Amino acid sequence: MDTGYLILETGDVFEGTMVGKNVSSTGEVVFNTSMTGYQEIMTDPSYTGQIITFCYPLIGNYGINHFDNESIGLHLSGAVISDLCTTPSHYLAIKSFAEHLANEGIPCLAGVDTRAIVKKIRKNGTMKGVISKTPSKHVPIGQDNLLVKKVSTHSVQQYEGSGPHIVLVDYGYKKSMLEALLKVGCKVSVVPYSTTFEEMQSLKPEGVMFSNGPGDPMMVSSMFQEVKKITENFPSLGICLGHQIIALAYGAKTSKLLFGHRGGNHPVKEIESGKVWMTPQNHGYVVTEDSINHEIFGVTYRNINDQSIEGLKHKKLPIVTVQFHPESHPGPSDTEHIFKEFLATVGKAGDLKYATTK
């Protein structure tokens, strides 16, 4: 295997061994603290355009299976790991970590001191980087294009069910989000991120879910007015990027975290009950505290580590948002009650004929 390098925009160079596809790739270098779940992480569309540094020192030990992909294909730009397991041991494994990357055309750098990379990111923030076969590769620095457009569906996809009709706005949704709705019998329509209020009305949903996704939420600013109309007329749940977009649609602002929240063990406090939930997270932006109109939204959850906002609830309309991932995969499922509460709200709103009398 060839020697490869990770070159950061700061000029720092980390040497390792090229595995996966032996090509160069550019992306935002981030780190994830999860101890397991590398297959779900690699297939999460929220990682589009990013090079993931895996903090856990051993990656690949249980291989890749047919069941844990969160979407079709891989979305990350590259991966950086410490120790690579080339002989996975699991009864469901069909291929190795390196084979999976190679098949999907994604480069990976193994044998790297990932702790040093994480320290650099924690000090300087996430930054652009290049995985390359030469240590002198130039790191292009610039604004990403609309990443959501790359991962969103281009047409309506429908899944039948006997329960309430939920429209899932696809900013880059995870399979587990869809499955959480189908498991309880919902009829689900997955729609493009650019779906307008009029198009939404024609689908006659009983509730709308705004999904996770990659990139800066301001890149979707052209849809804010449509999102506001949709949420004013249908019970709504926003998750991760969806949470940020709903907040922005109502006049709030977002800012970029220094190095983001990415991992399966982030503690979040529920304000009303005082309970602390362990949550999986994957985001680089947050809704800023002083931008929220507290006459419209109340803060429902806060991150224990940095006190950032993790959830909002509209004070008059059935709109709830959370920054974390209640569908888990990977990570704990402590907060799956979020879906149950949303569907209860949908049922109550249906009884009151909310969507037609608003």
Is 173 annotated as a binding-site member? Answer: no
Whether 85 is a known active-site residue: answer no
Q: What is the mean pLDDT of residues 263-280?
A: 96
Is 215 annotated as a binding-site member? Answer: yes
Share of the chain above pLDDT 70, in %: 97
d(CA 212, CA 140) in angstroms, rounded, equals 27
* Cβ atoms of residues 276 and 349 within 8 Å: no
Q: Where exactly are the structural domains of the chain?
A: 3-132, 147-357
Task: From residue 183, give the alpha-carbon distance in Å to each of 161, 163, 177, 229.
Answer: 9, 10, 10, 29
Token couple for 316? 């008059």
Cβ neighbours around 336 below 10 Å, total? 12
The pLDDT tens digits for 144-199 are 778 999 999 999 999 999 999 999 999 999 999 999 999 999 999 999 999 999 99
pLDDT of 351 reads 59
Is 238 annotated as a binding-site member? Answer: no
The pLDDT tens digits for 124-138 are 999 999 999 999 878
- Active-site position among 100, 165, 243, 325: 325
Whether 310 is a known active-site residue: answer no
- Active-site position among 55, 108, 186, 240: 240
Is 354 annotated as a binding-site member? Answer: no
Is 260 annotated as a binding-site member? Answer: no
pLDDT of 143 reads 66
Is 282 annotated as a binding-site member? Answer: yes
Task: From residue 64, give the alpha-carbon distance in Å to each of 52, 68, 102, 173, 228.
Answer: 17, 8, 13, 21, 40
pTM given for the model: 0.94
Token couple for 198? 């009029």
Give the sign of the dihedral formed by CA 189, CA 279, CA 65, CA 149.
Answer: positive
- For the domain with range 147-357, which CATH number is right: 3.90.228.20, 3.90.1310.10, 3.40.50.880, 3.30.470.10? 3.40.50.880
Q: Does domain 3-132 have CATH number 3.50.30.20?
A: yes
Is 46 annotated as a binding-site member? Answer: yes
* Cβ atoms of residues 82 and 210 within 8 Å: no
* Cβ atoms of residues 25 and 128 within 8 Å: no
**Amino acid, single-letter form, for residue 7:** I
Whether 325 is a known active-site residue: answer yes
Same topology for domains 3-132 and 147-357, yes or no?
A: no
The residue with greater pLDDT, 351 or 45, is 45
**Which of the four pLDDT bands, split at 50, 70 and 90, describes residue 357?**
very low
